[in-house]
Amino acid sequence: MQKNFIFTSESVSEGHPDKMADQVSDAVLDAILTQDKHARVACETLLTTGLCVIAGEITTSAVIDYNQIARQTIKRIGYDSSEIGFDYNTCSVLVTIGKQSPDIAQGVD
């Protein structure tokens, strides 16, 4: 057994892009589950200056507007001006969602 090791951790505060990204992903999940309680959702979000990327594998019958969900979530958080670092209204939203791979589906069916 190894006796020496390095332990690291990170803690981020309110307004950090990771926290915002989690809220966007959660909002996507919530919107999908309101229409399809059997959906399979693996959604990740990345936020950086002026850009929101929503990616993952989602298998669902739900029809949602990812762009609107992202913008409304960012607006609710309070980012409404590029002067404060992010503007929900002018940021780019890139969505790259595919269906869940058959290999993963087989493992959870």
Per the prediction, the chain carries an average pLDDT of: 90
Token pair of 1, please? 């057994």
> 22 vs 34, 70, 77, 102, CA distance in Å?
18, 11, 12, 26
Task: Provide φ and ψ at 67, rounded to 5°.
Answer: -60, -50
| pLDDT range class, residue 44, cuts 50, 70, 90 | very high
Token pair of 41, please? 């959702």
Domain 17-108 adopts which CATH fold? GMP Synthetase; Chain A, domain 3 (3.30.300)
> 75 vs 5, 21, 69, CA distance in Å?
42, 13, 10
Residue 85 neighbours by CB under 8 Å, 6+ apart = 49, 79
The pLDDT, as a whole number, for residue 81 is: 92
Round to whole Å and give the CA distance between 89 and 21: 16
In the chain, where the domains are located: 17-108
- 47 has pLDDT over 70: yes
Token pair of 66, please? 């990812």
Mean predicted confidence (pLDDT) in 21-38: 97
Q: Between vectors from CA 13 to CA 11 and to CA 17, what angle results, nearest 5°?
A: 95
